[in-house]
Chains A and B, each alone.
Chain A
Amino acid sequence: MRVLNLPLDAAMPFLNHGSYRIRYEIDGPANAPTYVLVNGLTQYAELWTAYRDALVAREFRVATFDLLGQGASDKPALFIRQDDQVAALHLLIGKLGDGPVFLSGISFGGLIALRYAIAHGKRLAGLVPMSCFAELPPQLLLLGNALRTGLILGGTSYLQDLLLPMNLSDQWLKPLLDRLDSVKRQGWLVNDVYALQNLMESFLDFEPLTPLLPSIAVPTMILNGEFDFLTPRALHETLRVQIPNSSLVIIPRAYHAFTLEKPALTADLLACFAQDVLAGNWQGDKAVWIAPEEAGGTLAPFPAGYDHLRAIPVQGVTP
């Protein structure tokens, strides 16, 4: 038993993974295609509420959950293996019956989604990694180490102080500047230092997933914010190049945490992707697209001849 410092709905359902419990929620019509959404490292399931509402309104079912170590799920005291996160996700997807399942995750959650697609890809109808990575190049490794040190020395609040300006735009932050504490409070309440540290330290024995990415056969839409410097374009390019039936979609003016900043647009992209796949219209072709500024717009192809890995309009090099 574990005692939590937050009020919980007594009817909240849990999955059992060994001695640990995973809190989950499933909403929407029972026989509809399902989106399963996987949290980022410092997140919790309620942050997908806007997605649940938007996707259910478009006749999808939506499954959300707290990863081991997050929110209302159990928080293993000493070690949290990424394999256990994949196993927990597999339990949740096992609850969904035989209908089509689309899996999406942001950042750390995107990595868990990639791992799931590698291990259990046949169960998926589609995959949407967002602000994601398959390897830890020096910049990301060192940033991760620095964020872990920040957590250790300054606690969850300081980690949030680092992540907010790194991952969100001025436009999103400016109106919230005088009440940032209230923005941070729920994440601070439901996430514990030791559990976040365990999640971060699950990377200590991390092996790159890149050699395994070609085994992902499902349609895959990779979403990357235009200004994401925590997981920049090159990391998403690895996914685009290695996953056969994939496309890369660049979200204009977006940072790493665009799922928080642009929920209407992102939910629309998720819904359109799933509808295209289900209708047999999806063609990955390893294409590069630019998302519209607002929900309901259309994708535009990245201008031919220019290098989508550069921040200035440089002519691309034909391989």
Chain B
Amino acid sequence: MSAFFGPLDPERRVPPRQQTRIAAFLISAHGALARQYAFALPAKLDSAWQTEMNAQVFRETEIVSLLLRATSWVPDLALGYMGACWEAAWLPAPVEAIPDPALATAAGLATLAHAVHAGIRPAALLPVDANANDPFVMALRRIEFESGRLLQAQILLLKGADLAPFRDAVSATLERRHTEIGKLWGDALAGIGITTVPAE
């Protein structure tokens, strides 16, 4: 077990089995965010903040497209069961303490997106000597970089005035989302020889 991808092949690329597992997880997570944001996006924008929602839809879609093309795919029998678990975890979960259904749903989606964008750092798994010109390596770096930017929309909503009356409930939901998704990520990595240390 290692904290990083490897052993790298002679061209310093990540092993295809590790690429497949990581890409499948990220496609599942970012694909779910793309679908949920697309569903929530109105045909005609009413508010300035909805421009950010439009951006989220297309950047999440870009991540999926990028991984589909940059990954060296190999069969992975574990993906059937894991994929089902992942998809179940992404299901919409409105924040229960918020009485306005639309706001509760938006807050729930924001907690999921925050946990994915903030808590999943695929580029941090790359060893120092990974080939910087390899498309999969470049893709992971790009996804982590873009996630830091996408995250700002979630931070603005979750820290914003609309949710201030529900701060404790939102914080608790967010921490729970981080824990859930961190565990899924840790389990996905553990199956391909990468260790993460649970800090209970």
Contact = CB atoms under 8 A, between A and B. Distances in A.
A283 B195 CA distance: 53
Contact of B145 (A7, A76, A155): A155
A3 B121 contact: no
Contacts of B3: 5-7
A4 B199 contact: yes
19 contacts: A2-B179, A3-B183, A3-B186, A3-B196, A5-B3, A5-B124, A5-B125, A7-B195, A74-B199, A76-B171, A77-B174, A77-B178, A78-B155, A79-B167, A193-B148, A193-B151, A194-B114, A194-B155, A201-B159
A185 interface: yes
Pick the most buried of A3, A79, A182, A194: most chain B CB atoms within 10 A of its CB.
Answer: A3
B93 interface: no
A79 B175 CA distance: 11
Interface of B: 3, 114-115, 118-119, 121, 124-125, 128, 144-145, 148-149, 151-152, 155, 158-159, 167, 170-171, 174-175, 178-179, 182-183, 185-186, 195-200
B125 A14 contact: no
B158 A1 contact: no
B124 A72 contact: no
A173 interface: no
A78 B128 contact: no
A264 interface: no
A201 B119 CA distance: 19
Contacts of A189: 124
Contacts of A197: 155
Contact of A5 (B118, B155, B174, B196): B196
Contacts of A3: 119, 182-183, 185-186, 196-199
A135 interface: no
Interface string A180-192: 0010010011001
Interface in A170-218: 182, 185, 188-189, 192-194, 197, 201
A189 B199 CA distance: 16
A302 to B, nearest CB: 44
A185 B128 contact: yes
Interface in A1-56: 1-8, 10, 14, 19, 21
Pick the most buried of A1, A74, A79, A188: most chain B CB atoms within 10 A of its CB.
Answer: A1
A311 interface: no
A287 interface: no
Question: Is the contact region of chain B dominated by helix, strand, or loop, or is it mixed?
Answer: helix
A194 B149 contact: no
Contacts of A185: 128
A77 B118 CA distance: 9
Given A6-B3, A77-B114, A79-B171, A1 B199 contact: yes
Contacts of A193: 118, 148, 151
Pick the most buried of A5, A8, A153, A193: most chain B CB atoms within 10 A of its CB.
Answer: A5
Contact of A192 (B121, B149, B167, B197): B121
Contacts of B128: 182, 185
A221 B179 CA distance: 42
Contacts of B151: 193-194
Given A192-B121, A193-B118, A1 B182 contact: yes
Nearest to A181: B128
Nearest to A153: B149
Contact of B199 (A2, A7, A153): A2
A21 B179 CA distance: 14
A194 B113 CA distance: 13
Contact of B179 (A1, A4, A10, A194): A1
A152 interface: yes
Given A6-B3, A155-B144, 13 more contacts: A1-B183, A1-B198, A2-B179, A7-B197, A78-B159, A78-B170, A78-B174, A152-B148, A189-B124, A192-B118, A193-B118, A193-B148, A194-B118
A8 B114 contact: no
A204 B186 CA distance: 34
A76 B118 CA distance: 11
Nearest to B198: A1
B197 A152 contact: no
A8 B197 contact: yes
Pick the most buried of A76, A78, A182, A197: most chain B CB atoms within 10 A of its CB.
Answer: A78
Interface string A91-123: 000000000000000000000000000000000
Contacts of A188: 124
A135 B200 CA distance: 37
B197 A4 contact: yes
Pick the most buried of A79, A155, A194: most chain B CB atoms within 10 A of its CB.
Answer: A194
